[in-house]
Amino acid sequence: METKDENEAYLKRLGASFDSCESGVLAVSGGVDSMLLALVAFDQDRKNMEIFHAVSPAVQSDGTDRVKQFSMKFGWPLRIINSKEFDDKNYISNPVNRCFFCKNNLYKMLRKYTRGTIFSGTNCDDLRDYRPGLEAAKIYNVQHPFVEAGMSKEAIRRLARDKGFLKLAELPSQPCLSSRIVTGTPISPEVLGAIYSVELWIGKYFTPATVRCRFTEGSIDIQLDDLTLQALSTKERGSIKIAVKRSFHFLNRLPSIGFSLYRMGSAIKRYH
pLDDT (tens digit per residue) in 158-178: 999 999 999 999 999 889 999
Give the pLDDT score at 270. 60
Of 123, 147, 169, the position where a domain reaches its end is 169
Residues 163 and 203 in one domain: no
Phi, psi of 206 (to 5 degrees): -125, -10
Q: Are residues 134 and 248 in the same domain?
A: no
> Residue 36, Cβ neighbours under 10 Å: how many?
24
Nearest Cα neighbor of 83 from 120, 55, 52, 50 is: 55
268 in a structural domain: no
Q: Considering the domain boundaries, does residue 269 fall inside one? A: no
In a domain, 271, yes or no: no
32 occurs within a structural domain: yes
pLDDT tens per residue across all 272 residues of the chain = 457 889 999 999 999 999 888 889 999 999 999 999 999 999 877 778 999 999 999 999 999 999 999 999 999 999 999 999 999 999 999 999 999 999 999 999 999 999 999 999 999 999 998 999 999 999 999 999 999 999 999 999 999 999 999 999 999 988 999 999 999 999 999 999 999 999 999 999 999 999 999 999 899 999 999 999 999 999 999 999 999 999 999 999 989 999 999 998 888 876 43
Domain boundary, last residue among 151, 169, 187: 169
Domain range for 194: 177-261
| 156 lies in the same domain as 230 | no
For residues 37 and 79, membership in a common domain is answered with yes
199 and 247, same domain (yes or no): yes
| Residue of 228, 176, 222 lying closest to 207 (CA atoms) | 228
Neighbours of 187 (CB within 10 A): 20
- Total domains, the chain: 2
pLDDT of 217: 87
User: What's the mean pLDDT when you consider all of the chain?
Assistant: 94
Shared domain check, 206 and 106: no
Starting from the edge strand earliest in sequence, which strands make up the sheet with 24-27, in order?
A: 78-81, 49-54, 24-27, 117-119
Asked whether residue 127 falls in the same domain as residue 79, the answer is yes
Pairwise CA distance, residues 220 & 186, whole Å: 14
Does the reported pTM lie above 0.95? Answer: no
Final residue belonging to a domain, choices 169, 185, 207:
169
The answer to whether residues 119 and 40 belong to one domain is: yes
Is residue 164 domain-shared with residue 191, that is, in the same domain? Answer: no
75 & 199 share domain: no
Query: Do 189 and 148 belong together in one domain?
Result: no
Which CATH number characterizes residue 196's domain? 3.30.70
Same domain, 99 and 146: yes
